[in-house]
Amino acid sequence: MIVEILKALFLAGIPVALISYYFVSKTTSKMPLKASNSKELTQELKAVQLHSKPEENKLTSMLHQKWLKFGGGFYGLLAFITYLHIELYQVIEFLQNFNGFADFIENIGFVMILNFFIEAIMNLVTAFVWPIYWTKFLPIGSLWVWIFVSFVCYSTATKFALHQSK
């Protein structure tokens, strides 16, 4: 059981904590939040609409907006992380299937664009059932332990980020 907790902590808990700390800190730097814990934060983030500043990095701004669209809470954060993992994994796999730039150009067409659209919808659905998805990629023995450890790390990181912003 201790080994399972340590695996969950290092493979899921710490990454979830770092990502949640980053996004909560980024949100509080753009606007003041009144929340004092993760539950209040989730409720408050539902009403947040942030706009990027011209000098801001477009990629991080886009990721931040996407995280907010996923709900901003624990479940939304894990769905967002899962969605990013699926998309990056598929892009790498997609690029590895081509024998060069000329092969890529030859295959561009309506069918490819339609397949991208269908896969994006399927990836979104898969992201929302993230517990099932992650059992394929991580050495999960007890899913409940992993969820509990991730939630504790998420809660701790969001409280810390909220405390630092005040």
State how far the Cα of 131 lies from the Cα of 78, in Å rounded to an integer: 9
Task: Name the band, by pLDDT with cuts 50, 70 and 90, for residue 68.
Answer: confident
Residue 62 phi, psi dihedral angles, 5° rounding:
-65, -45
State how far the Cα of 135 lies from the Cα of 64, in Å rounded to an integer: 26
pTM equals 0.79
Quote the domain boundaries for residue 16. Answer: 2-165
Residue range 14-54, pLDDT digits in tens: 999 999 999 888 888 777 777 777 777 777 776 666 555 55
Number of domains in the chain: 1
Q: Who wins on pLDDT, 117 or 98? A: 117
pLDDT, mean of residues 50-79: 75
Q: Are 20 and 73 in contact (CB under 8 A)?
A: no
Half-sphere exposure of 80 (CA within 13 A, CB side): 21
> Of 20-34, 55-69, 94-108, which has the strongest mean pLDDT?
20-34
Tokens of 113: 């664009």
